């Protein structure tokens, strides 16, 4: 088997998908203007995320979930430049640290409260 996508239920799928495509390097590969407003986003390697707004399902209170508990991680080669760019785009930094292995980790929220992480690895995991 192969993981096809991860999915999250949010209040405004179109807005979150647009922000992620503009700021996190993902492209919208499929979208729907009808409920549940599914938006599939992909990175250059084909990893996909589904962002949707399903009113009949509980939408997590993303803004009150610690990004260190659940997040979607994106790699970067220049943590400082990416942090500045994302903050200018409306992201909020929640926490940051360096792991014992020397990996730089930064936990953030998009302007809609959705948690994500930037990671600059000393050595790639794969």
CATH of the domain at 46: 3.30.720.120
Q: What local confidence, expressed as pLDDT, does residue 115 receive?
A: 96
List per-block mean pLDDT (blocks of 10 residues) for the chain, which spans 126 residues.
Answer: 96 98 97 97 96 96 92 96 99 97 97 97 93
Q: What local confidence, expressed as pLDDT, does residue 74 receive?
A: 97
The two tokens of residue 7 are 């999915």
Range of the domain at 79: 65-126
Q: What local confidence, expressed as pLDDT, does residue 83 receive?
A: 98
How far is 95 from 35, CA to CA, in rounded Å?
34
Are residue 50 and residue 71 in the same domain, yes or no?
no
List the CATH number of the domain containing 86. 3.10.180.10
Q: Is residue 2 part of a domain?
A: yes
Q: What local confidence, expressed as pLDDT, does residue 81 receive?
A: 98
Give the global pTM.
0.93
Q: What local confidence, expressed as pLDDT, does residue 1 receive?
A: 96
Q: Helix (H, G, I), strand (E, B), or coil: what is residue 35?
A: coil
Q: Is residue 22 part of a domain?
A: yes
Q: Is residue 59 part of a domain?
A: no
Domain count, the chain: 2
What is the Cα 64 distance to its own chain's centre?
Answer: 16
Helix spans in the chain (H): 13-23, 79-88
How far is 11 from 55, CA to CA, in rounded Å?
8
Are residue 48 and residue 19 in the same domain, yes or no?
yes
């Amino acid at each position: 088997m192969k993981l096809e996508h991860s999915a999250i239920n949010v209040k405004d799928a179109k807005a979150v998908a647009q922000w992620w495509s503009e700021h996190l390097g993902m492209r919208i590969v499929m979208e729907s203007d009808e409920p549940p407003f599914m938006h599939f986003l992909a990175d250059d390697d084909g990893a996909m995320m589904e962002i949707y707004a399903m009113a009949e399902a509980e939408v997590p209170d993303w803004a009150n979930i610690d990004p260190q508990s659940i997040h979607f991680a994106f790699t970067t080669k220049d943590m400082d430049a990416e942090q500045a760019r994302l903050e200018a785009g409306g992201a909020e930094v929640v926490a940051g640290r360096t792991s014992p292995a020397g990996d730089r980790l930064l936990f953030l929220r998009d302007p809609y409260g959705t948690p994500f992480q930037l990671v600059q690895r000393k050595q790639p995991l794969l």
